[in-house]
Amino acid sequence: RPGELRSFQAVLPPELWIHLAVVACGNRLEETLVMLKSAVLFSHRKMQFHIFTEESLKPEFDKQLRQWPDSYTKKFEHRIYPITFSAGNPQEWKKLFKPCAAQRLFL
């Protein structure tokens, strides 16, 4: 009806997932985990996290996400990807941008 507010749950089918992509490098592990946890906490939908990070952070991301309580872990899945220069000449991109900045641009 005109003028009525409808909830997101009424508008979107429940089987749709939210896909959230993040890039985390250096000392950004904890703040990224807080952001992901907030997204799960405040969402009514299942989420798929696409985490782009340095090799050194991959095990810690995986470990931390698996330690969350069941009430969180049943609401999301995650996949961890390496930081890459995916377009054109990687050596040229490396001269222009740091790897994480370039990854954000490619996203």
What does the chain come to in residues?
107
Average pLDDT for residues 5-24, to the nearest whole number?
73
| Between residues 35 and 99, the one the model is more confident about | 35
Beta-bridged to residue 21, according to DSSP, are: 50
| 47-80 per-position pLDDT tens digit | 999 999 999 999 999 999 999 999 999 999 999 9
DSSP letters for 20-70:
EEEEE-TT-HHHHHHHHHHHHHH-SS-EEEEEEE-GGGHHHHHHHHHTS-H
